[in-house]
Amino acid sequence: MSRSHFPLIRRALVTLAGVAVVLGTGACGDAAAPTTTGSRKPVDARLPTHDQLQQALTQARNSNNGGLNLDMWGAVVDRNGLVVAVVFTGDAPGDQWPGSRVIAAQKANTANDFSLTSLALSTANLYAATQPGGSLFGLQESNPVDPDVAYGGNPKDNGTVHDFMVGKRIGGINVFGGGVALYANDGTLLGGLGVSGDMSCADHNIAWKVRFLLGLDHVPAGVSPAPAFDNIVYDLTGVGADQVSASGFGHPTCTAGTTAVSLALPTDFPIGH
């Protein structure tokens, strides 16, 4: 897919989101008003619907991300950690790694849990700090996945609007690429997005593009130098346990292709503020 198509896709998705907001608002016309769908608990109407997330994930997955070119899972949680949507890009749940469904939700939860209105941290930014000797070592054990939420319900519903995780708190911490926080154009931190199914570096690239397409990339600041903000940082040196990150927020490289795409993200898909 040509990069020139992304602005058009993004505008279409943002327009769809706007329609969803209008339909979801009450008499007061509050664009941020919570909505309730079926058994789902209230979520911010500016977050994507299942169809919007699936469309954005499919478009991002079909572009060059430097990885293995595999189908993906995607998940969104709101600021309270409630799962809003779970989607996949293949024709059936088994077309992408089954284990990546829960990993995507973990990543969404992590990006939401450790981002603030003033500072965004992607899951990729947490890798170095959570290694032995790092300033956040042990963080990955701090908020375990709820197995009843992760594996409950009918597996045939996985990735559909009836996915058992939707409307529930999944929990979980993941400390490699693929999770980013979601920010509205007024700076409101709405929740987190997670994608999984390829190399972790490619997952990050896809998550960044999905957020761009959804128009929820108004990131205020981050640990990567501006204008990268919460982009993946490739500054690890050394081997194995002796690796050191100059910034303290580094992530291992995957392939030359994924690195090239990652470094170009702030230019090709710039932060939307």
List pLDDT tens digits, range 67-118.
Answer: 999 999 999 999 999 999 999 999 999 999 999 999 999 999 999 999 999 9
Q: How many domains does the chain have?
A: 1
Q: Which of 227, 210, 228 is nearest to 13 (CA)?
A: 210
Domain span holding position 30: 5-268
List pLDDT tens digits, range 153-170.
Answer: 999 999 999 999 999 999
In a domain, 273, yes or no: no
State pTM to two decimals: 0.86
In a domain, 246, yes or no: yes
CA 134/CA 228 separation, integer angstroms: 23
In a domain, 98, yes or no: yes
Share of the chain above pLDDT 90, in %: 77
List pLDDT tens digits, range 16-64.
Answer: 544 444 333 333 333 444 444 434 445 799 999 999 999 999 999 999 9
The CATH code of the domain that includes 131 is 3.30.450.150
- Count Cβ atoms below 10 Å from residue 148 Cβ, excluding itself: 10
Q: What are phi and psi of 212, to 5 degrees?
A: -60, -50
- Whole-number CA gyration radius for the chain: 17
